[in-house]
Chains A and B, each alone.
Chain A
Amino acid sequence: MTLWKLKISSLFNRLQSQADLLLISILRILATITGAIVLFIVFFLILEAIPVLQDEGIVPFFTDSSWNPAEGLYNLTPMLLGTLFVTLGSVLIATPLGILSAVFCQYYAPAKIAYFYRRLIELLAGIPSVVYGFWGLVVLVPLINSINPPGTSLLAGIIILTIMILPTIALIADASFAKIPEEYLIGAASLGLSQWGTIVGVVFPAAKSGLFTGVILETGRAIGETMAVLMVCGNVVQIPRSIFDPMRALTANIALEMAYALGNHRSALFVSGLGLMGMIIILVVASEIINEQ
């Protein structure tokens, strides 16, 4: 090692510092693009929604006599209620099932079974929604049809969505149970609480925020799900009066009509997309508030 080499090497070091700066600026650009996608989405939804909002305003979407865009009638209420019912139904069923399934994984199942069951839940989460929809269409709908026609119904939607969102709550509940410190459980056991007593009295309260987050995320998934509800709910624009009635969800409405919608009709579909986006943003903000507390 000579002085000369040392000088060369220090030059080399300076180049490396330059490389670091270059890297950071490239990364900044990439991250800015990524972070801006949400803004882009909102921006383009608004851009496309503006024509009909300018022509009609926001009120007709709730007060028009029906949904008939060809005649300038834009009542979205049946679709909104459809989404509400199918989401509410599936979340009400999936939440207890998912939590129980996580309880099973953490506290009841032998390690091996818990491992395989977890993998199964993950696979269930990975099955494409179109496959769920297809299965619902060819298996579930005929089954419901034999009980109470026509089969394509709110009930079918609720069942399929329940199966679809269950992995979300199950996996999140599982993860938040796993984070509970061992001492809590040992403490409860040393007080002579039964296993179930420990779970209800100690585990659930300790995992509360994780469970809430899970519920919010599954709700978001249910609201946004398109293919399954499109395929099994029948898509009749009406407010369902029983669980056996067909109905149309907001998402299904977009999927059905985008292909041929033009002008204000197309614009109206973007308004409903904007509505969906708004609901999701509210849910995400809610979950972050819960997490921060």
Chain B
Amino acid sequence: MTLSKGDFDDPGDLDQIFLDLVEIENNQMSNPQTTNNKQQITNNQQQITNNKQPTTKIQTEKLSLYYRAKPAFEDVTMSIATGCITALVGPSGCGKSSFLSCLNRLKDLMPHARVEGSIKLGDLEVLDPKLDVIALRRRVGMIFQKPNPFPLSIWKNIAFPLREHGIKNREEIDSIVETTLQDVGLWDEVKDRLKDSALALSGGQQQRLCIARALALQPEALLMDEPCSALDPISSSIVEDLILSLREKYTVLIVTHNLAQAKRIADYVALFWFQSGSGKLIEFGSGKQVFESPQHSLTEAYINGIRG
């Protein structure tokens, strides 16, 4: 059941990649962006992606998760490409969200969860029990279905995690708050009320704030668990555009039930399916391949079923 692409290179020096990413990001930041030309930029980026051979950011090897004795998913082997958007699709209850929560060890917080297999983030073994989980989670951000800003001010929602990671300089924090809020297109909406409660924002704004909060830590990968499904259509499309704008700079894994969305944004698509008692990865490939020439009959049925 190994469906990895096989043509990914092993990543080189992680720090170097990180620095490269930062550079790209800095270049991006200087660009004034509106939603329209953001779309253009992403189109350009898609071409870049297609031209360049992507490297692997996260590699899972026979990964399985059990709650008590009950498996959530089993034997998932997958390579997640650097700087690409990988969409996890499939019916509910087939382990997509559980899969995400393994990648940043969030499953540590869930009682009775047991993981088997291996996850490599670069050279780092994520499942190593001696791993510094805090440092890992800083490198791998996560966004939830329901926006979960802290009950703090907008400013402090971003500043609090920064301070926790040792950035104490007020000016530095202020500048990071401003740039990240600009990145998510929230700056103009909230710049006059940074000290107001984040809970007073609309759902879509809250979700963008959560994304900004994650981006402020400059993670390498971003895990998104149905980030749009709790939002109204307009907010949802704004957040979707935002996710598109993250391509290249970040490695994005997104769980979605919206196949149209997966088709619009994903470079790679992984289809999970509930099979013989647990979730399995039954198809993995580029978005084009999965949607246009699915290898697995279930994939075809699923895609057509949703269409019809």
- Residues of A in contact with B (beta carbons under 8 Å apart): 1, 3, 6, 8-10, 12-14, 16-17
- Measured CB to CB, the closest approach of chain B to A111, in angstroms, equals 28
Q: Out of B15, B19, B135, name the residue touching A13 (CB < 8 Å).
A: B135
Closest beta carbon of chain A to B217's beta carbon, Å: 9
CA distance A17 to B167 in the complex (A): 17
Kindly list chain B residues whose C-beta atoms are within 8 Å of the C-beta of A14: 132, 135
Q: Judge whether A12 and B19 touch: CB under 8 Å.
A: no
Q: Which residues of B contact A10 (CB under 8 A)?
A: 132, 135
What residues of A have a CB within 8 angstroms of the CB of B164 in the complex? 16
Of the residues A1, A3, A17, contact of B132 by C-beta under 8 Å: A17
Q: Which 5 A-B pairs have the closest CB atoms?
A: A12-B166, A13-B134, A13-B135, A9-B166, A10-B135
- Interface pair A3/B134, CB less than 8 Å apart: no
Residues of B within 8 A of A6 (CB): 15, 18
* Cβ contacts A to B, 14 pairs, < 8 Å: A1-B22, A3-B18, A3-B19, A6-B18, A8-B166, A9-B138, A9-B166, A9-B167, A10-B132, A12-B166, A14-B132, A14-B135, A17-B132, A17-B134
- Whether B206 sits at the interface, judged by CB under 8 Å, is no
Give Cα A254 to B78, complex, Å.
73
Chain B: which residue is nearest A10 at the CB level? B135
Q: Cβ of B218 < 8 Å from any Cβ of A? A: yes
CB distance from B103 to the nearest CB of A (A): 18
Closest to B25 in A: A1
Main secondary structure, interface of B, reads helix
What is the interface residue range for chain B against chain A?
10 to 19
Is the CB of B165 closer than 8 A to any CB of chain A?
Answer: yes
CB distance from B26 to the nearest CB of A (A): 10
Contact A13 to B138, CB < 8 A, known contacts A1-B218, A8-B166:
yes
Q: Is the Cβ of B165 less than 8 Å from the Cβ of A13?
A: yes
A13 touching B132 by the CB < 8 A rule? yes
Q: Which of B134, B164, B167 has the most CB of A within 10 A?
A: B134
Q: Which residues of B contact A16 (CB under 8 A)?
A: 134, 164
A3 near B165 with CB under 8 A, answer no
Q: Chain A residues with Cβ under 8 A from B135's Cβ?
A: 10, 13-14
Given contacts A10-B135, A16-B134, contact A3 B166 (CB under 8 A): no
Q: Which residues of B contact A17 (CB under 8 A)?
A: 132-134
Shortest CB–CB separation between residue A140 and chain B, in angstroms?
A: 50
Q: How far is the CA of A6 from the CA of B18 in the complex (A)?
A: 10
What is the CB-to-nearest-CB distance from A173 to chain B, in angstroms, rounded to a whole number? 33
A218 to B218, CA, bound (A): 58
Q: How far is the CB of B93 from chain A (nearest CB, A)?
A: 26
Bound-state CA distance A270–B175 (Å) is 69
- CA of A9 to CA of B18, assembled, Å: 15
Give complex CA distance A10, B18 in Å: 14
Smallest CB gap from B218: residue in A: A1
